[in-house]
Amino acid sequence: MPESSAILSEDRRKEDITFCQQFFDGFNVDFTPEDMKNAYRLGARQAGEGGGTRPRPILVQFASRHIKNLIMESLYKIKSLAMKFKNIVVAHDLTKKQRLDCKGLMAQAKLRSENESGDFFYRVRGPPGNIRIVAVRKRQ
C-alpha cells in the first residue's frame, strides 16, 4: 500500500488505518473498526517522498484470531476489489525460525512430489505454528 504524504506521523497513521479498514470491508466478513487492534508501518521511513522506494509493510493486529482467520480465508476476493487494492500482498507475521521451518517443509514437499508417482502431490498447509505436509489428490 502506498505511503502517505502527510507531514505528521499521526496523520499518516490515521490514513493507513482508514486504508486498511476499507480493504478489510471489501471482504464482506462482518469486519468492524473495533476488530483491528493496531496497525503500524514496519521499518524506518525513507527520506525524500516519491523517490521510487518501496513502501514499507504494515503490520495489522486483530482483536481476535477469528476475524484474522476470516480475512485470511477471504483473500481470494482481492481480485474482485477496487483497483487500488489489487497489488496488496497479505501474509502471516512469522518469526525467522517459522519462515525457515516453512521453507524446509516446502522443499520436502516439492521433493516428495517429484520423486513419487501416483495420484497425489504434496503441499504445505496449516496455520502458523502448525504447518505440515499434506497429500493432495491429482485431478484426472
What CA–CA distance (Å, rounded) separates 65 from 37?
11
pLDDT tens, residue by residue, 13-34: 999 999 999 999 999 888 898 9
| Cβ contact 45:56 at 8 Å | yes
pLDDT tens, residue by residue, 81-97: 899 998 899 988 889 99
Bridge partners (DSSP) listed for residue 39: 60
Instruction: Specify burial of residue 25 (Cβ count, 10 A radius: 0-12, 13-18, 19+).
Output: middle
List per-residue pLDDT tens for the chain, 140 residues long. 888 888 888 999 999 999 999 999 999 888 898 999 999 999 888 765 555 567 889 999 999 989 998 999 999 999 988 999 988 999 888 899 999 999 999 999 999 988 887 888 899 988 888 889 999 888 76
| Cβ contact 17:60 at 8 Å | no
What CA–CA distance (Å, rounded) separates 42 from 55?
10
| Cβ contact 115:105 at 8 Å | no
What CA–CA distance (Å, rounded) separates 42 from 40?
7
| Cβ contact 29:67 at 8 Å | yes
Query: Of 26, 13, 2, 9, which is closest to residue 77 (Cα–Cα)?
Result: 26
> The whole model's pTM is what?
0.74
Cα angle: 13, vertex 25, 64; to 5 degrees: 75
